[in-house]
Each structure stands twice: as structure tokens, then as C-alpha cells.
Amino acid sequence: MVKRLAILGSTGSIGRQALEVVDALPESFSVETLTANNNTDMLVAQAKKYLPNIVVIGNKQKYETVSEALKRLPIKIYAGAEAIAQVAAMSNIDMVLSALVGFSGLQPAISALEAGTPVALANKESLVVAGDLMNATAISKRVPIIPVDSEHSAIFQCLQGEHKNGVEKIILTASGGPFRGRDAVFLETVTPAQALKHPNWDMGSKVTIDSASMMNKGLEAIEAKWLFNLKPSQIEVIIHPQSIIHSMVQFTDGSMKAQMSLPDMRLPIQYAMTYPQRKQTDFPRLNFTHYSSLTFEQVNRSVFHNLSLAFAAMERGGNAPCILNAANEIAVEAFLKERISFTGMSSVIEKTLEKVSFITMPAFNDYLESDREARKVASEVIGR
């Protein structure tokens, strides 16, 4: 059967690579919906190639541009964040691939799950912000959340066939980013251009900065807590510069499973899109003779303070991860605009966590308000 896809964030790195998977497996997929926030040129080009039923441009000011470019094609055009959430819930979709960036991914993911549609999740912030709500919705509707991040896909793959066996801990691997081994003094003078040079992965600017600051790994730890029903004490992060082992599971008998491959995001994307099947690919294969050693290091949390902040927010629970995420998004934007230093991002996040109202058991509207308040406070801390 052909699986009908809605790709939310189709012009970003994950969205583009998802479409490469579609190109390689045209008999397996049809593209029903494409969305983008601002990149009208790429969205229009994708729409002309894949002829989806629906296209949504998140920025309402760019609706006329997209509509005019596609007016001769049988494609419905919508605009705005609400439209993205609405199309995620449409009945003609078999899977939603959420490749949106940041908090904007939460409502569409919830909408898809409420409609009973499986979600292939690359937007880790949805689970970071409201993991309890996401899980409860998925369970009540009996639909899966399938991870797309390479680390969570690795854990997901390692757990196949192990549902009755106890997990002692999971180990999330991190490349260490461009500043592995650097000290806090060096990080104080890091520029956006330096931080955007990731050694192993090609990602969008926000995710790349998160990787450089280790916040990405902190967000992934919170996401893993919800995906795999873990306690914070069961989640370990280690540096693995080669990015060959994408993560590991240690079971209660002491044995360990690892998922390995060359660093290529198309593999976890395809696995999520074709699950539970594995489809033939022509992706480059791992040759162990090309890697004389695989190395591992502890993370220096005194240098990469964001990781400690993320684990502290996970331990506290409630709306703390939501506050963390919102403050981080504001801090990353400010750093990219050279309004704060690289290490200043941690300071902004920490002060925001201290100032924003804590809610032990937030409802959906509480998450919306916490996100709004945290962004306001973080902006005030920066001096916007």
C-alpha cells in the first residue's frame, strides 16, 4: 500500500531528506501535504514536483506569493500556524512527519495524534514541552510516536523485540560538536560562524547551535524520558566523536545493544516512514576497516552548562522543560544575531528558569502560557 504523507517543515533539512526517501521509494509513498514557514521558493518547487493535495505557508504575509505561483495547479493553498495544525489532522493522511523547529511543532503533533494518525517525530521540542500530554494522547488514540532523531531511532531499533525485558539505562551518544575538548574561556569568545560548523551532521542553524552548546543532547534526554518511559537516572550522555554508534541500550542482565551506521539522517527518516519494515537502500555502508577505533569521552558539564540545566529541568518536571525550551529558543536567536555571547545563552536560560512561574501539573493552556511567559522573561533578560 502507498502511505500518504504530510511533511510538516518540508523545506528544512529533515523535510528535504524525507523527500529524498520518497524519491527513492516512489512505490511506497505519496506526498499529500507540504508545509513551510518562510521558504516560498523551495516550497513552490516542491509543490510543482510532488503535486500534493495541500500546501501551507506558515507566514501569512507570503500567502499571495505561493498562491500566485501555484494557481494553475490543482493544489489547495493555506497559510498560518492554525492551518498547519488543521492539515495535520486531515483524514487523507496515513502518517505525519513533523520536521518543524521548536515550540511550533507541538500543536500540529497533538492534532495529528488526536486524529488517530501516526507521527514520525523529528520535532523533539514537542515531547520536551508536553511529553505527558503527547503520550496520553497517543495512548488514548492507540497510535504510535515514531522517533526520527538518529539517537532516539537507535534506541527505538534496539528495543524491538525487547518489550518484556527490563532496561537498566540508555546511553545517548553525542559527537561533541565543533567545541569538543574546549574550555569555558574559549567558549566565551565563540562566534556564530564557528558554532555553525558541525563536524559530522548537516542541520539547520538552530539545531546546529544547540548541538554546539550541548543543549540538543539535553533536549534529547528529556525526549527519551517520554519516548521510552524512563527515569532521568536511566539516561546517560557520552561523547562519541565518530558518530558511528548512534545510541545504546543496556538491559538489566548487563548486556548492551547498539545501533550503528554512517552518519546519514536519511536512514532514521526512512526507518520511521517505513516502520515496521526495512526497505532496501543505496545509502553508503559502514566499513569497519575505515574506522580503526571508536572512542568515547565524558561530557564536561561545568563547561557545557546547558546539559546540566536540561537534566535539572527534567528532574523538576512540570512546566520546567517548557520554560527551558522557550528560553533556549530566544537565547539561540539572540546569539545568532550576536546580541549575546555563546556562554551567555546558558545564563539567559538559567535566569529564565528562576523567574517564570512553576506549575507542577500543567494542562495544555498552561504550556502555552508558560512558553509565552518564558519568551517574555528571556527577552527581558537579554535586554530586548
pLDDT band at 167 (very low <50, low <70, confident <90, very high): very high
Beta-bridge partner residues of 250: 169, 256
In this prediction, residues 61-72 reach a mean pLDDT of 97
What residues are paired with 238 via a beta bridge? 173, 298
pLDDT of residue 198: 74
Domain 3-147, classified CATH 2.30.110.10, yes or no: no
Cα angle: 251, vertex 252, 255; to 5 degrees: 45
Taking the domains of the chain in order of start, what are their residue ranges? 3-147, 171-262+300-382
> How far apart (Å, rounded) are the C-alpha atoms in residues 211 and 241?
13
Mean pLDDT computed over 219-233? 96
Give tens-digit pLDDT for 96-140: 999 998 888 999 999 999 999 999 999 988 999 999 999 999 999
Evaluate if residue 200 carries a pLDDT over 70: no
| The CATH fold of domain 171-262+300-382 | Rna Polymerase Sigma Factor; Chain: A (1.10.1740)
Q: Over range 170-195, report the average pLDDT.
A: 92
User: Does residue 224 contact residue 198 with C-beta atoms inside 8 Å?
Assistant: no
All cell numbers assigned to 68: 500566485
Q: Is the pLDDT of residue 197 over 90?
A: no
- Percent over 70 (pLDDT), the chain: 99
Burial class (CB in 10 A: 0-12, 13-18, 19+), 282: exposed
- Cβ atoms of 216 and 122 within 8 Å: the answer is no
Mean pLDDT of 66-80: 97
Q: What is the mean pLDDT of the chain?
A: 95
Which amino acid, residue 44? V
pLDDT surpasses 70 at 384: no
Q: What's the pLDDT score for residue 369?
A: 97
